Amino acid sequence: MITFNIKQNQQDCCDTTTQSCDTNSHNCCTPQPKSKEVCPKCNNKAKGVLAKTLNTLLKDETKEKLDSLEGFYYCKTPSCEVVYFKDKTFLTQDDVKVVVGLKDSAKPATVCYCFEWTKEKIKEDLQNNGKTDALEDIKAKMKDPGCSCEILNPSGGCCLGDVTKAIKEIKEELGLA
Ligand SMILES: [Zn+2]
């Protein structure tokens, strides 16, 4: 059962566009909480997040108010102000140390926290060169020096899915798709 869970999570984390997930070379595929819950504000599905992710990313004053960092969920809906929630506790951008790049008004709109890829940088690449090597760059750096998504990325997981989506959206926006 445990093996099954880990396998599920690896697939989840390492987006289907990448067939090269090597768990020895980076730690983004450490098992993430498998549970899903619906965000009470936007009604979209949200993924569980590890306590250690919150421990690194939440402001100290927010942490002081919380009894426990366990059992929170991450809402990635761009238009939803909720970043993390548990029961009746809602945490927003104000509670988080880094800018949550996937939310609508985020500036910079960071998509890869380990190697600092933002939607702005991807857009600049696409405007100037018609292409971006964001994915190649991230994948190469995941092998060496390795990534720390679980403590740097607000989602606590691998960014490749988000980066792929961002590139697609920006290409469409620029008429390159
Ligand atoms: Zn939400």
Task: Please tell me the distance between residue 66's alpha carbon and the centre of ligand 1 in angstroms.
Answer: 20
Nearest to 53 by CA among 142, 138, 146, 157: 157
What pLDDT digit, counting tens, does each position of 110-157 carry? 999 999 999 999 999 999 999 999 999 999 999 999 999 999 999 999
Tell me how far the alpha carbon of residue 60 lies from the centroid of ligand 1, in angstroms: 23
CA of 119 to the centre of ligand 1 (A): 21
Q: 3-class SS at 73?
A: strand
pLDDT score, position 1: 40
Rounded alpha-carbon distances, angstroms, from residue 117 to 37, 39, 40, 106: 28, 27, 30, 14
Domain layout of the chain by residue ranges: 2-10+26-174
- Say yes or no: domain 2-10+26-174 is CATH 2.20.25.270: yes
What average pLDDT score do residues 11-28 get?
43
Give the distance (Å) from ligand 1 centre to CA of residue 75: 5
CA of 158 to the centre of ligand 1 (A): 20
